[in-house]
Each structure stands twice: as structure tokens, then as C-alpha cells.
Amino acid sequence: MPRVCCHPRVESLPVPWPRVFELMWEAYVAGTIPVGAVLVDGAGQIVAEGRNRIFDEPRDGQLAATRLAHAEINALVGLSPEHRYPYTTLYSALEPCHLCLAAATSSRIGGVRYAACDPYGGAVGRLLPSEDMRVHPLVVEGPLEGAAGLFPELLHLRHMLWRVPDGPGVVPFYRREHPDLIALALRLPEPPAASTLGEALATVIE
Ligand SMILES: [Zn+2]
């Protein structure tokens, strides 16, 4: 079982990660896939935010109740097509999928940073670049070190163990490739359980 030291207080993570983690937890408690995302401009200000709403109700003009309602898409969807955003960075709790990496390029932002790897659905390094992607390159950085780089992956896995315990997809993948993470994720409360992000972190991070 992995041992991760340096139990982080979420609020002590550098900006904007605390907000990304809050949005991730909000999605988890709502019973949808736990991913949060924000956009940060060149001055370091959060200019947009989104969370996964695939299994949630529409709100705040964001995509919801569709398989396309990924956190990153909801953070990007309000950007005006009249501009380009080379100094804007998308921060996501989890390694972006093909859809979201491609959306970042299409939105003309400059970079993507993610907290935790997603060895099942993550697309970093797995996209076959088009000419458009070569002309508008994205700087992609991640994962974070230590507990902050593991917890979002565990929370995502815990959601899947709750939603689709018998697969197909994420759960069989982890049972085969990372059974130690299944055991760790099962320590977390089920999504509707009354808990806080800090309590959940303390459950799995030593
Ligand atoms: Zn995605």
C-alpha cells in the first residue's frame, strides 16, 4: 500500500489548487465524477472555473447531464472566440482526457497543469497532434508531487467503485494494474456520505 508523507492541508497548496480541489470535492459530493478545473490568466487571477456535471443538473450556464460535461470543458466554455489566450493556463484536478486536451488547443490557451495522473483516461502524451496543435502548442505540466498528486486519482477511483463497481472500464483496469490503489480508495467515504475534503484526505494520506 502506498505511503505518502507530508499530508497536505488543502488550503496550504499554492493558488489556484485549493479552489481546484474544492470544485473536485463539490462534484464528488454531488455524485458526479470528481474533477474540478479553473482558468488562470497571466496576472495569476482565476478568470473561470468549472466542475464535472455529467451526472448533475444544469447550473450557471455550464454543460450538465451530458457525457461532454467535463470540468475542463466547463472552465473553457465561456472564453470568447474573439481572442487568443497564450498566457492563460487551465488547472485541473486530474490529467485531462483527449476531449479536454483538444478543447484546450481549440480554445487557444497557452498551458495545462494537472494535479494527479489518470492512467486510464488521461491523454497527456497520447494525442496524435494535428497541424493545428503544432501551430498552437500547449505547455502541459503535471502531476503534483506527494499527496496532492495522488488524492484526486483516489477520489476518482472511489467514485467509479461506487458508480460502476463491476465495470467495464476504470475499475477492472485498476484491479488489474493497481490493486493497491483499490484498497486505498475504498477507505474513502461513498459520495453521498457526510464528510469534508480535509477528513477524506486524512482517511487515505498518512
Ligand atoms: Zn476530459
Query: C-alpha grid cell for residue 86?
Result: 497564450
Tally of residues, the chain: 206
The DSSP line for 58-75 is --TT---SSTT--HHHHH
Taking only the tens place, the pLDDT of each residue in 68-119 is 999 999 999 999 999 999 999 999 999 999 999 999 999 999 999 999 999 9
Using an 8 Å Cβ cutoff, are 176 and 169 in contact? Answer: no
Is the model's pTM score more than 0.75?
yes
Cα(72) to centroid(ligand 1), Å:
6
Question: Beta 36-40 vs 46-51: how paired, if at all?
Answer: antiparallel
Taking only the tens place, the pLDDT of each residue in 7-30 is 556 778 999 999 999 999 999 999
Whether pLDDT at 48 is above 60: yes
Taking only the tens place, the pLDDT of each residue in 125-171 is 999 999 999 999 999 999 999 999 999 999 999 999 999 999 899 99
Please tell me the predicted confidence (pLDDT) of residue 10. 75
Whether pLDDT at 6 is above 50: no
Please tell me the predicted confidence (pLDDT) of residue 193. 75
Neighbours of ion ligand 1 (CB under 5 A): 70, 97, 99-100
Distance CA 50, CA 26 (A): 11
Using an 8 Å Cβ cutoff, are 104 and 136 in contact? Answer: no
Distance CA 64, CA 181 (A): 29
* Active-site residue list: 72
Please tell me the predicted confidence (pLDDT) of residue 133. 95
